[in-house]
Amino acid sequence: MIAKQRIAYKRSQQRERILEILRNTTEHPTANWLYDHLKQEFPNLSLGTIYRNLRILHEQGKISILDFGSTFDRFDARLDTHYQFICESCGKVCDVDLPVMETLEKKASENLGATIHRHRIEFYGTCAECSYKKEDGK
């Protein structure tokens, strides 16, 4: 478990673009989406680079990693605690505008005798568009 000694981060075009895109998207892209998207700018781009940079951005505390049941992670430049909704029909992930309940952590903490650093809430269901599609015709 000897962590590879890293002295400093150097800048890289790719990393800066990844962060920029994440900051300008309300969607929560997957690694693969980022790859497809940036492939145009960097024709030789590789998926390894995407993943390495996502990990680095996460280490730097600049992005967060949202891991749901789905096989792939979603990445987000929003760092504050916020809740998510996942559409089980189309897979879309979006933020839910509900006040964050700090008290929950306290209660759970007392309950378990554990130290709690953070919590997540995920809502699962069918989004407005998908409900609409299902209603008419097929």
Partner DNA sequence: GTTCATGCAAATCGTTTGCACAATG
Partner DNA sequence: CATTGTGCAAACGATTTGCATGAAC
Give me the residues that bind a second copy (CB under 8 A), please: 65, 67-69, 73, 83, 85, 87-88, 94, 96-98, 104-105, 107-109, 111-128, 131
131 binds, among a second copy, DNA, none (CB under 5 to 8 A by kind): a second copy
Strand 74-76, strand 64-66: pairing: antiparallel
Over the window 68 to 107, marking each residue x when it contacts DNA by CB under 7 A and - when it does not, the resulting string is ---xxx----------------------------------
Residue 22's nearest CA partner among 59, 50, 48, 42 is 50
Q: Using CB under 7 A, which of 37, 52, 62, 133 touches DNA?
A: 52
Residue 30's nearest CA partner among 77, 98, 76 is 76
Stretch that binds DNA, among 40-48, 99-107, 111-119, 121-129 (CB under 7 A): 40-48
CA–CA gap between residue 62 and residue 73 (Å, rounded)? 16
CA angle, residues 123, 35, 76, in degrees to nearest 5: 35
Q: Which residues bind DNA (CB under 7 A)?
A: 5-15, 30-32, 42, 44-49, 51-56, 71-73
